[in-house]
Amino acid sequence: MKYLIVGLGNIGDEYVTTRHNIGFKIADNISKIIDTEFELKNHAFCANGKFKGRNIYVIKPSNFVNNSGKAVQYWSNELKIKLENILVITDDLSLPFGKIRLKKNGSDAGHNGLKSINNTLKSSNYARLRFGIDNNFRPGYQSDYVLGDFSKEEQKSLIDNIELSSEIVLNFCHIGIDRTMNKYN
Q: Choosing from 20, 43, 111, 174, which is the catalytic residue?
A: 20
Band of the pLDDT at 120, cuts 50, 70, 90? very high
Q: What is the pLDDT of residue 109?
A: 87
Residue 158 CA to chain centroid, in angstroms?
Answer: 15
**pLDDT of res. 17:** 95
Query: pTM value?
Result: 0.96
Residue 25 has pLDDT above 90, yes or no: yes
At residue 11 the predicted structure's pLDDT band, cuts being 50, 70 and 90, is very high
pLDDT digits (tens, 9 = 90+) for 46-91: 999 999 999 999 999 998 899 999 999 999 999 999 999 999 999 9
Residue range 130-144: mean pLDDT, rounded? 93
20 labelled catalytic: yes
**d(Cα 112, Cα 114) in Å, to the nearest integer?**
5
Determine how many CB atoms are found less than 10 A away from the CB of residue 119.
Answer: 13
